[in-house]
């Protein structure tokens, strides 16, 4: 609202005019319309939300257009510089930020192998959070879980926790499958 007040005079009519024109109606209508278009750009797939930057950029470019169209070239130029810094230069910092990652972990355990609690403790010691857990009991046990962790990169290397699990007596097999953000683990 502050931008709209900067753009246009607040009075809307002169002393000699018969009618009063609402000068804020035009830019607010444009901003509302672009807001709805931006909302249509935002998509959610699983845990992943896409299009937020695109929606915000659409709205920002609309505001810059209104500011420049109203003749505030210095303010519009400053907004272009800030938008450039945020959209282009800060993208280079994104790889340095930590993200949430997920993987599916399946452990086959012999009947006399380590308990489920011991396996869970080993997973947690590796810095992983167990999101879901299912246990299949037959002659041997199969423990399936979805784990998550936070790091800068999700390398495709098998993590050390798999080696620690395999070192335990009675662990027959360990499968590790990294999941993309939004991908669900099939139980």
pLDDT of residue 103: 82
Domain ranges of the chain: 2-95, 99-179
pLDDT tens track for 136-180: 777 777 777 777 777 766 665 567 888 888 888 888 888 888 877
Q: Please check the confidence at residue 23 and state whether its pLDDT lies above 50.
A: yes
Between CA 93 and CA 104 the distance in angstroms is: 29
pLDDT tens track for 117-139: 888 888 888 888 888 878 777 77
Least Cα distance to 125 among 140, 147, 146, 93 occurs for: 147
Kindly report the average pLDDT of the chain as a whole number.
79
pLDDT of residue 178: 81
Q: How far is CA 29 from the centre of its chain?
A: 29
Strand partners, 44: 49
In the chain, DSSP finds a helix count (H) and a strand count (E) of: 6, 6
Beta strands in 29-182 (DSSP E): 43-45, 48-50, 99-109, 129-137, 141-151, 171-179
pLDDT of residue 18: 63
Least Cα distance to 100 among 166, 41, 176, 49 occurs for: 49
pLDDT of residue 187: 44
Pick the range with the lowest mean pLDDT from 12-21, 109-118, 142-151: 12-21
In the block, tokens 């210095």 appear at 74
Least Cα distance to 8 among 39, 29, 36 occurs for: 29
Between CA 140 and CA 173 the distance in angstroms is: 11
Q: Please check the confidence at residue 41 and state whether its pLDDT lies above 80.
A: yes
pLDDT of residue 78: 97
Q: Please check the confidence at residue 32 and state whether its pLDDT lies above 60.
A: yes
Residue 9: CB atoms within 10 A of its CB come to 9
What would be the CATH architecture of the domain defined by 99-179? Answer: 2-Layer Sandwich (3.30)
């Amino acid at each position: 609202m502050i931008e709209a007040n900067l753009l246009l005079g607040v009075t809307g009519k002169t002393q000699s005019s018969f009618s009063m024109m609402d000068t804020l109606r035009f830019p607010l209508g444009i901003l509302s319309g672009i807001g709805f278009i931006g909302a249509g750009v935002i998509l959610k797939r699983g845990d992943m939300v896409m299009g937020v930057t695109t929606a915000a950029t659409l709205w920002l470019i609309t505001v810059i257009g209104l500011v420049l169209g109203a003749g505030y070239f210095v303010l519009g130029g400053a907004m272009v510089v800030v938008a450039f810094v945020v959209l282009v230069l800060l993208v280079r910092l994104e790889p340095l930020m930590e993200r949430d990652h997920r993987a599916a972990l399946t452990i086959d355990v012999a009947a006399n192998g380590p308990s489920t609690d011991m396996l869970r403790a080993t997973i947690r010691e590796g810095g992983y959070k167990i999101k879901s857990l299912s246990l299949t009991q037959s002659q041997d046990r199969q423990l399936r879980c979805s784990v998550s962790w936070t790091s800068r990169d999700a390398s495709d290397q098998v993590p050390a926790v798999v080696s620690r699990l395999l070192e335990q007596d009675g662990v027959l097999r360990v499968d590790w499958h990294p999941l993309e953000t939004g991908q669900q683990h099939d139980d």
